Amino acid sequence: MPKVRVFSTPMCPYCQALKEFLKEKGIEFEDIDVSKDERAAREMIAKSSQMGVPVVEIDGQIVVGFDKERICQLLNISQ
């Protein structure tokens, strides 16, 4: 199982959709609330060069936004 980390905020609708998608696919992930964790927010910005959420890290590969096609490709699952 790949290591999946989701950098998100509670009020982000794309973050919620992404997490629901991962749950539906049975993918375990670590949910990191960057609105409450300043260190995680800095880590997300350093890795993605983005301040917006969601940012997904899949086995070290960064995906900015809810890019379903790229996420499925990295997880080797169907959409």
SS3 letters across the chain? CCCEEEEECCCCHHHHHHHHHHHHCCCCCEEEECCCCHHHHHHHHHHHCCCCCCEEEECCEEEECCCHHHHHHHHCCCC
- The amino acid sitting at 65 is G
Determine whether domain 6-75 maps to CATH 3.40.30.10. yes
Residue 79 has pLDDT above 90, yes or no: no
Looking at residue 48, its pLDDT comes to: 96
Token code pair at residue 13: 């609708």
What's the whole-model pTM score?
0.94
Tens of pLDDT, residue by residue over 24-41, are 999 999 999 999 999 999
Domain ranges of the chain: 6-75
Residue 71 has pLDDT above 90, yes or no: yes
